[in-house]
Amino acid sequence: MKTTRPRRPDLRRARSLLALAKPHTSLPARVEALSASLLGAPYVAHALVGSATEPEALVAPLDGFDCVTYVESVLALARAGDPSGFVEELRALRYDGGRVEWERRNHYMTDWVRRNAAAVRAVASGAIGKRVEKTLAAVAGLPPRRARFVCVPKSRLRTFLPRLANGDVLLFASTKSGLDVFHCGFLVLAGGSIRLRHASRSAGRVVEEDLARFLAANRMAGVIAARPLDPARAEASAPARRVPAGRRRA
């Protein structure tokens, strides 16, 4: 079996990205600036190192992403004060308890949200949410287990949109058995439009597109939203921009 050689974190690239984000005082603004700076980066599948039979290694590439590593990298940079802090934030986001082990990697995104309560908070969907219960069995090497989560069906999303804010993480619930979430990205409010910024396999790169277009093109059980939490909670932080009342179509 061929073993992938781990890559060292690109601290020089992290430093330049952190400098780009430094002028922004609020976490949503840092998320917006950082995620925009990575537009056009190539889509890279299977970027992580480790499996049920291969030792896990912490990797932090900043030159190519899949949808999850894009979200993790942007959030880790937005929460960090320096390159070493970026690596530690990434470790905490990716692994349960921050321990770099394949079994503790957050393979399922509903686990990622639940275990990262210090970094993100699920946006409550209230009565419009739909409760889902299924057996997660999509990752070979992990034992199947039952999971419960709440998502908002596409038919009710228009009612949910006013609760969302710029920089929220959107997770799209899968209709496939054995899998909770099939894709994720950032909500972006730009020029009065509601957009999704994400690493797209079909486009082969990080892109920004109209959220309504993405929803129409993809079958899903519903949408889950998670709001990034600023570790500094500075009083000077600007309030998060929310979806305007007149722009709720999706």
Query: Does residue 243 lie in a domain region?
Result: no
- CATH number for 103: 1.10.3670.10
Query: Does residue 32 lie in a domain region?
Result: yes
Query: Does residue 240 lie in a domain region?
Result: no
Full-model pTM: 0.91
Range of the domain at 174: 11-228
Query: Does residue 185 lie in a domain region?
Result: yes
**Cα 175 from Cα 164, distance rounded (Å):** 23
Query: Does residue 233 lie in a domain region?
Result: no
CB atoms within 10 A of CB 68: 22
Domain count, the chain: 1
**How would you write the pLDDT of the chain (250 residues) with one tens digit per residue?**
344 455 677 899 999 999 999 999 999 999 999 999 999 999 999 989 999 999 999 999 999 999 999 999 999 999 999 999 999 999 999 999 999 999 999 999 999 999 999 999 999 999 999 999 999 999 999 999 999 999 999 999 999 999 999 999 999 999 999 999 999 999 998 878 999 999 999 999 999 999 999 999 999 999 999 999 998 653 333 455 566 655 555 5
